[in-house]
Amino acid sequence: MVPEDPLWQRLEAYRIGPPDAEFTFAQRLARENGWDADYAERVVGEYRRFCYLAMRAGHEVTPSDQVDQAWHLHLTYSRDYWQRFCAEVLEAPLHHGPTAGGKAERDRYYRQYAQTLASYEKVFGPSPADIWPDANRRLYVDPLARRVQTRNYWMVPRRIGWAVMIVALLGISAMIVWGLDG
């Protein structure tokens, strides 16, 4: 059972980054991803569960995108990650390897992620879908998304964007027609 495993106890007790930091790891994670504080805290909890699976599942594991964002940020706390987390909490290195790309790699990660979800369910019960989407969404749909700096761009839902574009084009067309008549 997970709660009795010393690894899980160390993971639950572990806090990322300096204990006296005013701007916590979860706050930074929230800011960098546009999440609210509660959601970021939940992602940090899921990151702990992912790390537990990485050490105990008996197979390679693949994180959800949200958990991967937590892992990426944690890696930037390099001393904390390697000297405290890996050495003292996990008691083993946990390397992050990016995909080499291509269909074969995507298919491999699809299978690996599906296996990760199955292992998650065996150990922790059903995974939260808002953090751990199904394998198809994780590996075939979501990778088509782009991260956007929202202070530089307006984000408009597609259905509204099309309507705005049509109205704008009609307005430009009308100005051209009226300009030619005048």
Q: Which two tokens stand for residue 5?
A: 């495993």
Kindly report, residue by residue over 92-150, the tens digit of the pLDDT: 999 998 888 888 988 999 999 999 999 999 999 999 999 999 998 998 887 766 666 67
User: Do 87 and 9 touch, CB atoms closer than 8 A?
Assistant: no
**To which residue do tokens 């980054």 refer?**
17
- Distance, in Å, from the CA atom of 75 to the CA atom of 24, rounded to the nearest integer, reads 15
Contact 28, 73 (CB under 8 A): yes
Cα dist from 181 to 91, 125, 167, 174, 175, whole Å: 79, 70, 21, 11, 10
User: What's residue 182's pLDDT?
Assistant: 52
Please state at what angle helix 37-56 crosses helix 25-33, rounded to 10 degrees. Answer: 110
Q: What is the mean pLDDT of residues 6-30?
A: 94
CB 67, CB 47: distance < 8 Å: yes
2 has a pLDDT exceeding 90: no
pLDDT (tens digit per residue) in 37-63: 999 999 999 999 999 999 999 999 999
Please state the domain extents for the chain: 2-147, 157-182
Give the Cβ contact number of residue 57 at 10 Å: 17
